[in-house]
Structure 1
Amino acid sequence: MGRASDFKERFTKPDLGVAAQLETAGQREKERRRAVLGVIVDTLKMAAVQNIPLRGHRDDGRIDPSGEIPPENDGNFRMLLRLRIQAGDVTLQKHLKEASGNALYTSKTIQNAVLEEMATMIQQKIAEQVRRSGTWAIIADETTDRANREQMALVARYVADDSGVLIVREDPFALVDVFSVLRQPEPSATDQSTSDQRELRMSGANLAKVISNTLGDLQFDTRHLVAQCYDGAAAMASSLKGVSAHIRASAPLAHYFHCTAHALNLATSKMDSVTVVRNASTTLESLVVFLTDGAKRMEQLCQAQAQELEEAQRLKLLKLCKTRFVERHVAVDRFWNQLPAIQLALQLMSSWEDRRTSAKAAQFLAAMRDAEFLVGLAVARRLSGILMPLARSLQEKGADLIASLELADTTREMLDSIREDSEKDFADIMTDVTAVAHELDVEVKKPRLASRSVYRENAGPESSAASYFRINVFNPALDAVRTDLAARFSQHQKAAFAISHLLPKRAVAASWGDVRPAWENYRSILDCSESQMRSEFDVWAARWKRSSQDHPETAIGALNRCPAEVFPGVHALLRVLAVIPASTAEAERTFSKVTRTLTAVRASMSEERLEALVLLQAHRDLLPPTSAVVDRFASSGARRFQLGNH
């Protein structure tokens, strides 16, 4: 009778059976372990996003489940787990207490695996968004990191949908150690030793190989790659053997665009072709280093600033930045405004008992009291101030190429107008120079001139000091900058000229003949014939001729006003125009993250871990959900305990 009752109970309540109870217990244990791994994933994600170092001097072995702080620093990761325990995370505490030593999931190996899985998920998300965008562009730049690895940052520029509004995104998707890729043997290589001994050249073919391999590994569609943007180095830009040429062999639509920010820097550097300006910049740079690289000298400068300047002007002197032009102008302007305090500091230092400091202070003081130094500094300040808005626009995230080129035209026109009436503009410069010279007790006069000079400008020997400096300093510097600016930016205008006629403000005055070259270039990705495209353009132009609304001035603005269902051809070409990069600024911002991450105490970090940390910092909006990371981690290899959902 008892057996019958037991049978009946198990039949009516199957969850009381041994097998069912074992399965339930196993499921609970699986959920507990997933919760533990979720804590580890969240901790790693938070630390990576905030750029918090994870490792410690000794970070192996068990973590005390009591949460007590050990006598040695074993890293932020383990301390953050202790903080969770102290906050009452019983599940984590139980795991650290009961799990076997090879299933704790707190080792550096697990950290690397989890970080790499999260980075891979971000890369896959970006690749998916690029595929949905259709057309896209690639931005690349290189630098050497603290560990002396040649790093290449790759950025995808594409159009994405943000809650119904089309936007331009520039997303870093890879950080590649160039030489580690080039060291890999060719598939056809039979002698490994010979492959290892070959010279690793930074040629266009090799750099293109690095880019192509990365794009292939991440499954980016190069058939719809319509632009590539690099600096102007021969290995990148050469139309025969550069990276751009090799990439176009497999992606014919990928036209090369020189980084406009780099072009602006090159054009601006032409003002240094004038000796007075170059010498003033060199003196400024050396003087800033002298004043700021020693604690005692810095303290003396601060005291002089407090005595001579208002509180708002007591700012730290900046060194001349080699890459960011905006910072260069700020450095010159800040130095100019602090000249009285700098002179006072040098006067005091020149009487110090420290022979080296007093001698150099006296030398710099003599250089500052030269009228040529003040004029050269004032000319650099004036010209860099005019170019600063353009430099800022080129460094914006997702900068529009056509808008940037129009601002470049405006800047060049302003420089031309200044050249036409240089006497008036230079008179304002000389007013500033005279005021500062009076405050510094410096006489503004011409240098001593020889009747016949080979190595020094001496035009207008009978003129006044103002005329001499205008003719020999201001005009040559102005001419050098505006001429080079016109030459460099005209190349970008030619490349984007035809397709820019689709912008509403240009379409109203354009004809089909203006737009036809763009259709010919990109006809392989357009699903329409020439007659269809022409008719579509005619209607598009007529629409904006009749419209009283403001005409969009950027490609992405026009794209949001161009429904793909009505104007498919125009919409597709506007997408091409929208993704053409203006500069490589986003790749340079990635290098800034590398510099902040790969500090002196973290210089031994592996390439894979560095890439993962940088991508997590760069993409806060694309961070994968914790549960998805746990699922992917559980299915990515043999684990000591079961983590899957099934």
Structure 2
Amino acid sequence: MHHLSEKIKKHETSRIHIDSCLKLSAFGSVNIATQLDDGYRLALRRHNDEVGKNRHILGRLIDGVKFCGVFELALRGRDESEGSSNPGIFRGLVQLIASLDEVFEEHLKTATVFKGTSKTVQNELLDCMAAVIRARITEEVKSASFVAIQADETTDVSTQTQMVMVLRYIDGSHAVQERFFEFVPLSSSTADSIATAIMERLNSLFTEEERGKLIAQAYDGANVMRGEKAGVQQKVREHYKNAHYLHCYAHQLNLIMQQATSQVPAVRVFFSDLNGISSFFSRSPKRTTILDQVVARRLPRASATRWNFNSRVVNTVYENLDDLIECFEAISTDGSFDCTTVREASGYLRMLQDDDFKFFLHLFHQIMPHVDIMYQQLQKKDIDAVFIKRALQSFTSSVQAIRDQSSSPEQQQVAAGTTGKRRALGEQDKQRLSKEVCDTILGHANERFSFTSHLVSATLLQGDLFEQYCHVFPDEALNTTAKAYPMLNKAKLKTELSLIYESPDFKGCSGALALYQVLQRNNLHETLSETVALLNILITTPMTTAEAERCFSTLKRIKTFLRNSMGQDRLNALAMLSMERELVRNMPDFNERVIDHFAALKER
């Protein structure tokens, strides 16, 4: 031991020690001789260059498929052979890219194994793109605190029943997202079939422990969806206890206006006559020409399901009433029109000059702007229960003001009405009809937009009520909220809300989303954790299924203009690229992810 240090130094310089160190460093690695070989290095560099070239070419093919998907263009043409006059948009894009990219052009000329333009490769690329986007959406869902689903079903042009599923949540940037997830083919439209399809998708998204994150399910209000005993919403709630049902408020608004127009016979006749004007001009180019010459404005076509279209007809006719009368007079006196056109024009002329018609036109011209405002608010994805509560109060106040004015002298001057006997109504009947229409709208609005059960929680964060809550705390609403969402700490939530109600900084709160973002920006999400959780729930709860309707618009375009008989996977991929184009655009490594996914499909 006395000479140990000296012996170690001597051993470190010995041949056997140095040889052992060399063998240890090379143990399990490539032979040094091979690494030093120029031929091996050259082959490795050539291989890497080939891989880089292949990924570059595949990236160009992905750009072409992505372009067609985003703009809902048909990838394949009637004949994709060389020299075809109709090769399809994708092949046309490939040729355009080749003219701008020498590497890609050389590949198309020399490739023998993998050219990349076949329909098989197109389908595989579409599958990979859909998988990458869906994986990104799944990541966002996993990181979100709460999630809601929207579902609706329709029959496409190929008579296949399709259900769309949309996910709503708040992402990492504190923005509201409504993501298209999938078109699901249904064997039937029964509650069991729809619920089974929804449950399969939900079970793939949430583990057993995460099921409490699903806090809402929104449908269009059909009996098969909303049934409390055997409906879809009840079947989902058996497994997801916190998934409260919500009837789409955009559908509710349409139902309110339908009730207002169907319960009063004279109003029903008015809208029937009004919509006839649009149909009259749309049936003949010659009629449309004279309309453009005299009125210089086309009449919009009314829709049975979209009340904003009925509103546009009312406003157009009201604003151009004198011009329309002049137009119908011109048609009646013009000898070039056929007898049917002259007869119908004379009837519409008498209708436009009728005091009864003018009365209802004036009445609904006052009501429809408020319906328009409400309708536009319901079409936004970033609305929440607090926002809708305030919008509803504004809507009912406006309709109530119109009702109160119905007996004013100005209203009486234009007021007139009709009954089944076509007898002009007296002043009392005019007032009665105006009030009846307004009362119908107000009654159904309060009934259908009632904030009961879990939606009562919206009143806890309604800014204009904070002053009142300072004196009398809304314990009943708090108890209902705690019962609906057991994940909230009731005691801590009450303390936090009390402080918010007393603070003057929060009394100008304009909505749940604005308050949520302010708390996040000021790092108060931990201090006011329960309030932030409640805000997250309110914002995540969808008040309308407008996104589902937009998905169906995309479905119609894809199925009609592309290929009615396309496979379900291809349909979902094209729909995903179209509807989630912003998500694709914001993923800088999207092409790389797709290439990695594509390379993993099989040995390439």
**Residue 367 of structure 1: how far off its partner (Å):** 3.1
Question: 1:206: which partner in 2?
Answer: 193
Matched, 1:115 2:97: no
- With over 3 angstroms needed to count, the CA separation of the structure-2 counterparts of 1:456 and 1:113, relative to structure 1, is farther
Query: 1:629, 1:591 → 2: CA distance?
Result: 26
More displaced stretch, 318-327 vs 216-225: 216-225
Query: 1:495, 1:456 → 2: CA distance?
Result: 48
Question: 1:578: which partner in 2?
Answer: 539
Question: 1:5: which partner in 2?
Answer: none
**Residue 142 of structure 1: how far off its partner (Å):** 2.0
Question: 1:517: which partner in 2?
Answer: 480
Question: 2:177: which partner in 1?
Answer: 169
Alpha-carbon contact 1:280-1:374 (below 8 Å) kept: no
- With over 3 angstroms needed to count, the CA separation of the structure-2 counterparts of 1:99 and 1:536, relative to structure 1, is same
- With over 3 angstroms needed to count, the CA separation of the structure-2 counterparts of 1:55 and 1:335, relative to structure 1, is farther
- With over 3 angstroms needed to count, the CA separation of the structure-2 counterparts of 1:217 and 1:117, relative to structure 1, is farther
Matched, 1:321 2:303: yes
Letter in 1 for 2:243: A
Question: 3-state DSSP class of the match of 1:566?
Answer: coil
- With over 3 angstroms needed to count, the CA separation of the structure-2 counterparts of 1:366 and 1:92, relative to structure 1, is same
Query: 2:383, 2:458 → 1: CA distance?
Result: 17
More displaced stretch, 415-424 vs 501-510: 501-510
Query: 1:140, 1:176 → 2: CA distance?
Result: 10
Q: Deviations 1:394-435 (Å, cap 9, x if unpaired)?
A: 1112212221122112322332343344212xx54555x58x
Bigger Rg over Cα: 2
Query: 1:474, 1:514 → 2: CA distance?
Result: 36
Question: 1:72: which partner in 2?
Answer: 85
Alpha-carbon contact 2:176-2:539 (below 8 Å) kept: yes
Question: 2:114: which partner in 1?
Answer: 103
Query: 2:133, 2:201 → 1: CA distance?
Result: 15
**Residue 617 of structure 1: how far off its partner (Å):** 1.8
Question: 1:258: which partner in 2?
Answer: 247
Matched, 1:501 2:460: yes
Letter in 1 for 2:226: A
- With over 3 angstroms needed to count, the CA separation of the structure-2 counterparts of 1:339 and 1:417, relative to structure 1, is closer
Matched, 1:276 2:266: yes
Query: 2:502, 2:491 → 1: CA distance?
Result: 17
Query: 1:477, 1:544 → 2: CA distance?
Result: 39
Question: 1:360: which partner in 2?
Answer: 344
Query: 1:610, 1:632 → 2: CA distance?
Result: 19
Query: 1:362, 1:352 → 2: CA distance?
Result: 15
- With over 3 angstroms needed to count, the CA separation of the structure-2 counterparts of 1:235 and 1:271, relative to structure 1, is same
Matched, 1:33 2:79: no
**Residue 480 of structure 1: how far off its partner (Å):** 1.4
Q: How does 1:382-393 map to 2 (within 5 A)?
A: 382-393=366-377
Q: 2:71 aligns with which of 50, 63, 79?
A: 50
Matched, 1:636 2:597: no
Query: 1:26, 1:626 → 2: CA distance?
Result: 21
Letter in 2 for 1:364: Y
Matched, 1:303 2:293: yes
Q: 2:400 aligns with which of 413, 416, 422?
A: 416
Matched, 1:474 2:474: no
Question: 1:286: which partner in 2?
Answer: 276
- With over 3 angstroms needed to count, the CA separation of the structure-2 counterparts of 1:246 and 1:93, relative to structure 1, is same
- With over 3 angstroms needed to count, the CA separation of the structure-2 counterparts of 1:561 and 1:302, relative to structure 1, is closer
- With over 3 angstroms needed to count, the CA separation of the structure-2 counterparts of 1:457 and 1:209, relative to structure 1, is farther
Query: 2:235, 2:422 → 1: CA distance?
Result: 46
**Residue 356 of structure 1: how far off its partner (Å):** 3.3
Alpha-carbon contact 2:168-2:178 (below 8 Å) kept: yes
**Residue 487 of structure 1: how far off its partner (Å):** 1.0
**Residue 13 of structure 1: how far off its partner (Å):** 9.0
- With over 3 angstroms needed to count, the CA separation of the structure-2 counterparts of 1:333 and 1:428, relative to structure 1, is farther
Query: 1:299, 1:446 → 2: CA distance?
Result: 33
Query: 1:152, 1:580 → 2: CA distance?
Result: 20
State the TM-score, normalized to the length of structure 1.
Answer: 0.80
**Residue 336 of structure 1: how far off its partner (Å):** 2.1
- With over 3 angstroms needed to count, the CA separation of the structure-2 counterparts of 1:482 and 1:446, relative to structure 1, is closer
**Residue 237 of structure 1: how far off its partner (Å):** 0.8
Q: 2:326 aligns with which of 321, 326, 344?
A: 344
Question: 3-state DSSP class of the match of 1:501?
Answer: helix
Letter in 1 for 2:482: W
Q: Deviations 1:510-558 (Å, cap 9, x if unpaired)?
A: 25454133223322x34x5xxxx41452244224413345542322223
Alpha-carbon contact 2:386-2:458 (below 8 Å) kept: no
Q: Deviations 1:127-182 (Å, cap 9, x if unpaired)?
A: 221221121111112222222222222111111232xxx22222222222223xxx
Question: 2:529: which partner in 1?
Answer: 568
Number of equivalences: 557
Query: 1:253, 1:73 → 2: CA distance?
Result: 54
Question: 1:614: which partner in 2?
Answer: 575
Query: 2:494, 2:359 → 1: CA distance?
Result: 54
Question: 2:94: which partner in 1?
Answer: 81
Alpha-carbon contact 1:155-1:171 (below 8 Å) kept: yes
Q: Deviations 1:278-306 (Å, cap 9, x if unpaired)?
A: 1121122222022023222211211122x
Question: 3-state DSSP class of the match of 1:379?
Answer: helix
Matched, 1:590 2:545: no
- With over 3 angstroms needed to count, the CA separation of the structure-2 counterparts of 1:167 and 1:353, relative to structure 1, is closer
Matched, 1:604 2:593: no
Query: 2:518, 2:337 → 1: CA distance?
Result: 72
Q: Deviations 1:234-267 (Å, cap 9, x if unpaired)?
A: 0111111111111101101011111111111111
Letter in 1 for 2:484: N
Alpha-carbon contact 1:271-1:380 (below 8 Å) kept: no
Matched, 1:542 2:526: no
- With over 3 angstroms needed to count, the CA separation of the structure-2 counterparts of 1:84 and 1:315, relative to structure 1, is same
Query: 1:603, 1:358 → 2: CA distance?
Result: 43
Question: 3-state DSSP class of the match of 2:238?
Answer: helix
Alpha-carbon contact 2:152-2:165 (below 8 Å) kept: yes
Question: 1:223: which partner in 2?
Answer: 212
**Residue 457 of structure 1: how far off its partner (Å):** 9.3
Q: Deviations 1:538-582 (Å, cap 9, x if unpaired)?
A: 244224413345542322223234433223333222211221111
Query: 1:76, 1:404 → 2: CA distance?
Result: 44
Q: How does 1:406-485 map to 2 (within 5 A)?
A: 406-424=390-408, 427-429=409-411, 433=414, 463-464=426-427, 467-471=428-432, 473-485=433-445
Question: 2:446: which partner in 1?
Answer: 486
Alpha-carbon contact 1:321-1:328 (below 8 Å) kept: yes
Alpha-carbon contact 1:271-1:477 (below 8 Å) kept: yes
Query: 1:378, 1:420 → 2: CA distance?
Result: 15
Query: 1:405, 1:511 → 2: CA distance?
Result: 16
Runs of 5+ consecutive residues of structure 2 not aligned to the other structure: 1-30
Q: Deviations 1:96-128 (Å, cap 9, x if unpaired)?
A: 11222x622212222122122212222221222
- With over 3 angstroms needed to count, the CA separation of the structure-2 counterparts of 1:13 and 1:541, relative to structure 1, is same
Query: 2:478, 2:382 → 1: CA distance?
Result: 25
More displaced stretch, 318-327 vs 361-370: 361-370
Alpha-carbon contact 1:133-1:158 (below 8 Å) kept: yes
Q: 2:233 aligns with which of 219, 222, 244?
A: 244
More displaced stretch, 24-33 vs 365-374: 365-374
